[in-house]
């Protein structure tokens, strides 16, 4: 489950347990609750603050928890709605947020990273991919609006309609991530960048984000209904 490590004015929120190198960091209601509780604690802190999310091991996140969905078919809609609300919370967070993508980011895991203000990806390991087109699963209007708001138009089209996998350099070149770094430098670089933004934390930042991303935020708060987040 998620846990937090403090680095001065930066809170590093890991998506999995300490030492857990095998987790795929899938999103299910229990995980979302745990992540939300950690985020509550960070938001309750005073003074300058920035957030980094990252993970242990070779996977940042593979997205929605399909095993949980198979075991709870009557709650799939609820689970997907909870994921969309998590994206909305990240998109309007009044704390600058940096995703330090140390491994694979697929599906909802990739969309989660896009909901951050900034993204830094390991240059020599991991792929960024939205595989919905390959598995025959459409995205909700809110998800499409989020992607369109966070990357260049041509890149959004590629991500959503081609299901391509982007390594670090390609992801940077296509405007998906802001920077790449070697594995042993990724977190330190993310912390340095986040620390430079910590002074922007506050209600003004949240208000700007709510206005800037009003359309995807409205869409993400509508029940997914017939749509899904692969």
Give the pLDDT mean for 159-176.
97
Lowest mean pLDDT among 11-25, 185-199, 214-228: 214-228
Taking each helix axis as running N to C, give the angle between helix 29-44 and helix 76-91, from 0 to 180 degrees, rounded to the nearest 10: 20
Q: CB atoms < 10 A from the CB of 179, how many?
A: 17
Q: Under 8 Å CB-to-CB from 62, ≥6 apart: which residues?
A: 24, 25, 26, 104, 106, 107, 109
Whole-structure pTM value: 0.95
Q: CB atoms < 10 A from the CB of 11, how many?
A: 24
Residue 66 has phi, psi (to 5 degrees) of -70, -30
Give the pLDDT mean for 161-186.
97
For residue 225, the model assigns a pLDDT of 58
Helix (H) or strand (E) segment spanning residue 166 = none
Q: What 3-state DSSP class applies to 104? A: strand
For residue 14, the model assigns a pLDDT of 97
For residue 19, the model assigns a pLDDT of 77
Mean pLDDT of the chain: 94
Give the whole-angstrom CA distance, residue 205 versus residue 227: 31
pLDDT of 154 strictly over 90: yes
pLDDT of 50 strictly over 70: yes
Alpha helix (H) ranges present in 62-131? 66-71, 76-91, 108-114
Give 198's DSSP letter: G
Give the pLDDT mean for 35-49.
96
Give the pLDDT mean for 138-164.
96
For residue 228, the model assigns a pLDDT of 46
Give the pLDDT mean for 45-62.
96
Lowest mean pLDDT among 1-5, 15-19, 49-53: 15-19
Q: Under 8 Å CB-to-CB from 80, ≥6 apart: which residues?
A: 64, 224, 227, 228, 229
Give the whole-angstrom CA distance, residue 108 versus residue 104: 12
The terminus-to-terminus CA distance of the chain in angstroms comes to: 21
For residue 169, the model assigns a pLDDT of 97
Q: What is the pLDDT of residues 94-147, one digit of tens each?
A: 999 999 999 999 999 999 999 999 999 999 999 999 999 999 988 999 999 999
């Amino acid at each position: 489950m998620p846990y937090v490590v403090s680095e001065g004015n930066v809170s590093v929120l890991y998506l999995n347990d300490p030492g857990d190198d095998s987790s795929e960091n899938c999103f299910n209601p229990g995980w979302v609750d745990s992540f939300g509780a950690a985020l509550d604690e960070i938001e309750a802190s005073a003074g300058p603050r920035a957030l980094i999310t990252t993970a242990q091991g070779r996977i940042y996140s593979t997205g929605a928890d399909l095993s949980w969905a198979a075991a709870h078919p009557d709650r799939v809609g609820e689970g997907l709605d909870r994921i969309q609300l998590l994206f909305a919370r990240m998109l309007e967070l009044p704390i600058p947020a940096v995703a330090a993508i140390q491994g694979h980011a697929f599906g909802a895991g990739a969309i989660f990273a896009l909901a951050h203000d900034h993204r830094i990806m390991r240059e020599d390991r991991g792929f960024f991919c939205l595989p919905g087109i390959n598995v025959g699963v459409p995205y909700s209007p809110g998800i499409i609006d989020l992607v369109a708001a966070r990357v260049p138009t041509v890149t959004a089209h590629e991500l959503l309609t081609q299901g391509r996998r982007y390594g670090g350099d390609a992801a940077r070149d296509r405007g998906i991530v802001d920077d790449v770094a070697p594995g042993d430098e990724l977190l330190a670089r993310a912390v340095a960048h986040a620390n430079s933004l910590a002074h922007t934390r506050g209600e003004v930042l949240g208000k700007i984000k709510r206005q800037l991303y009003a359309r995807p935020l409205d869409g993400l708060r509508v029940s997914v209904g017939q749509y899904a987040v692969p």
